[in-house]
Structures are given as C-alpha cells and as structure tokens.
Chain A
Amino acid sequence: MKINEMASILNAEIITDFSDENTDIMYGFASDLMSDVLAFATSDSILITGLNNHQVIRTAEMLDITTVIFVRGKKPGKEIVDLAVENKLTILATDYTMFKTCGLLVINGMKGIEGND
C-alpha cells in the first residue's frame, strides 16, 4: 500500500514523507507498548500507535521501520518530527482510533505481521 493511499483511507495528514515510487507496505503492527513493538514488529511493517514521544521514533529506527501512523488525533511535536526527519521516517497522523485505523487498512488489503519475518 502506498503512503498516499493510506493517507486517503485514514483521512490522515502526511507530516513527513520519505517514501518513493517503490514504497509499498503490505504489513502493519499496532501497539502503544514499544517493548511489544521491539519483540514482534518487522522492518517491512508500518507502526500504528497512539503513543506520542521520542521513543516511538527511536523504536522505529532500531527496527528499520520506515513509516509510523499516529492515531487518536496524536500529533507529534517539533522535536519528535525533527528526530523522524533525521531518521528519514515517514509520519502520518489520523484522528481515527487505533481499532478503526487497523480495520480500514485491513479492509483495503494490509495484513498483520503473523508468520512474516
């Protein structure tokens, strides 16, 4: 799934965009617990979270995750956006809840990470 498609489905604001024509993400992982993200998420998945702090960006960085979607109307502040830019991380922000965000992405073809590593 392309970034623009995700943004359109989620009525999301694209805060940073480092995607290119080859960016096509098929898997998603959703959690507010970064330790769970570190335990289970894969580098080819997007991270969907309602947590809004530096450690979201750091966690994505460690895992080579390229795209983060902030849900529930969470908008990252300047310092967090700067850190994302430093790490060439694409960030989207939607007002939708985590449940609705995941549901819409799945309906439109995105998959969970189970059995994918």
Chain B
Amino acid sequence: MTENFLKRYSFNIVANDFINAGKASSAIKGNLKSMGINAHIVRRIAIISYEAEINIVIHSIGGQLHCDLYHDKIVITSTDVGPGINDIEMAMTEGFSTAPESVRELGFGAGMGLPNMKKYSDDFKITSGSKGTEIVITIFL
C-alpha cells in the first residue's frame, strides 16, 4: 500500500452461488458511484469486478474480491482457491471456455470473461497455479 491508498472494500465470494453472484460488484459500484467517481470509469470497474466475481463462482471453490481505492487509481484484486487455469494464453482467447454446460445455460461460460476484464482495464495481471488464481486489474482515474 502506498501513501496514495485511501480505502479497501473486500468481499467473500461463494462458489456455485448464482443467486447472490453480483452482489459484491453491485456494492463496489454503489460505493464508487456515491464517491462521485466518473460514471464511465465506474461502469468499467463494475464490468471487470462482475466478470471476476462470476469467474470465482463458476471455476473455484471460493475466493475473495477486493477493491482498493487510491488517489489516482482503482485496483480490483480477485483471489480464489481452486484448480487454477491450465493454459492462461488459451483462457485469454475470446470464445475459449472450460465452463460446463450447466453454467452456459445460466448465460455465462461464453469464454469472454478474461478478455472482457482485460479489455476494460488499464493494466491486467494474472497468475495461476494448482491451488488457485489471482487477477490484479488497475484502472487509472
């Protein structure tokens, strides 16, 4: 954390909970909006955060979503416990998905999650291993 750091919002995300999926991102969006942050930036963060949240729900056995607010940037960090991603390069390809049919029936698993997150970010970092995945996304204000 640098001296620029202002605030952190953290949320536990439960695996396979499609009813509550999106609540954390909704709270993040609401908080940023009430702070008067530019609507276009809030929208980008909401999309990134929501895709990250859905990914945790679909692919992991649980995780956390953090939103760190700095004077000059917002950082979304998604950490999960799970099988990790075998081939990150493939996972970054639009349309590539390992999601099961049951998830596709819910409207997700189209293979757009990670590419979407990258598309809306200013900086995108992903690390994944056999115990889980961490994604750190920065948007400059």
Contacts and interface: CB of A to CB of B under 8 A. Distances in A.
To the question of whether A and B form a pair in one complex, the answer is yes
A38 B53 CA distance: 13
Contact of A35 (B25, B39, B46, B108): B108
Interface stretch (B16-24, B65-73, B126-134): B16-24
Interface in B1-39: 18-19, 21-22, 25-26, 29, 39
Given A53-B18, A55-B18, A61 B43 contact: no
Interface string B30-67: 00000000010001001100110010000000000000
A33 B39 CA distance: 24
A58 interface: yes
B107 A51 contact: yes
A5 interface: no
A78 to B, nearest CB: 13
B12 to A, nearest CB: 17
Interface residues of A, number: 21
Interface of B: 18-19, 21-22, 25-26, 29, 39, 43, 46-47, 50-51, 54, 106-113, 115-116, 119
B112 A54 contact: no
Contacts of A62: 22, 25-26, 29, 43, 46-47, 50
Interface string A46-73: 0001010111101101111000000000
B74 to A, nearest CB: 15
Residue with the highest number of chain B CB atoms closer than 10 Å, among A33, A35, A59: A35
A34 B107 contact: yes
| Overall SS of chain A's interface | helix
Interface in A78-111: 79
Contacts of A59: 22, 50, 107
Contacts of B119: 39
In the A-B complex, the 10 residue pairs with the smallest Cβ-Cβ separation, listed nearest first, are: A58-B22, A35-B112, A34-B107, A62-B46, A35-B110, A33-B110, A51-B107, A62-B50, A39-B112, A39-B116
A43 interface: yes
Contacts of A34: 107-108, 110
A36 B50 contact: no
Nearest to B25: A62
A32 interface: yes
Nearest to A50: B107
A88 B42 CA distance: 18
A100 B46 CA distance: 31
